[in-house]
Amino acid sequence: MIKDNIEEVRADLKSKRDALLIGHQQLKRDSDDWNKAVIVISLVTGLLESIKMKLQLTSNVWSLMPILLSSITATMASLIKFRNFNQRMEIYLQSASLLTNTLLKARNHQELDDELKNEYNQALEKIETALYPSERKIFIRISQRNLVDIMAQEQKYYDKIEKVNNNIIITSSSESTPSETKSDGPDLDASNHRTNPLRNDEIEAL
């Protein structure tokens, strides 16, 4: 779809920049999960080795278990290297940085000129080379949905501000979450039968 309006360019750059950041977040989560698994298995392997030596266990099961776990650890480490998480995350960050710079220039422009069109096309090429088509479809869909939700929330916020400015009473009880409506502590007991009764001056202060 051709973007010939400055507002369309800004919105498109914002959604694609967020798509790259969502992709980076997903990659980082996957990388952390794999690395945590390797650490846990390595610790378990060392623990089993210590138990075997301390208790002088010589059965075949205890002899093979550390070897099996070490093989699993080596396999997972090879898979992590094969998936190349760090390099892909670096590409995502560099591409997102380029789109952020282009978005900043678009925000400082009042209209779409040839220079901005050229930088916009370069930004599009960057995201197209950073993400596979299947990934681009998923991440852009998520980022666009997030932006729509953010704009809807902002609209509600400004509507409430306008009501307040017009001296219209608004209530937020219907939108509050259970954690927000929950009391910060137990109700204060000011009766005389409490464990430490309040003094008269404290009761008057309440």
Per-residue pLDDT of the chain (206 residues; tens, 9 = 90+): 667 788 999 999 999 999 999 999 999 999 999 999 999 999 999 998 888 888 888 888 888 888 899 999 999 999 999 989 999 999 999 999 999 999 999 999 888 888 999 999 999 999 999 999 999 999 999 999 999 999 999 999 998 888 888 888 877 654 444 444 344 444 444 444 444 444 544 444 44
- CB-CB contact of 13 with 102 (8 Å): yes
pLDDT value at residue 172: 62
pLDDT value at residue 194: 45
Name which of 103, 125, 118 is nearest 12 in CA terms.
103
- CB-CB contact of 18 with 146 (8 Å): yes
The H or E element spanning position 51 is helix 6-55
Residue 84 falls inside a structural domain: yes
What domain count does the chain have?
1
Phi, psi of 131 (to 5 degrees): -115, 140
Looking up tokens 């869909």 gives 141
Is the pTM here over 0.75, yes or no? no
Reading the block at residue 153, the tokens are 């929330």
Residue 88 falls inside a structural domain: yes
Residue 21 falls inside a structural domain: yes
Residue 138 falls inside a structural domain: yes
What's the gap between Cα 180 and its chain centre? 22
Give the C-alpha distances (Å, rounded to integers) separating 114 from 39, 75, 109, 125.
52, 52, 12, 17
Residue 46 falls inside a structural domain: yes
The domain in which residue 32 lies consists of 6-144
Phi, psi of 84 (to 5 degrees): 55, 55
Residue 149 falls inside a structural domain: no
- CB-CB contact of 41 with 72 (8 Å): yes
- CB-CB contact of 96 with 17 (8 Å): yes
- From start to end of the chain, where are the E strands? none
Residue 66 falls inside a structural domain: yes
Residue 53 falls inside a structural domain: yes
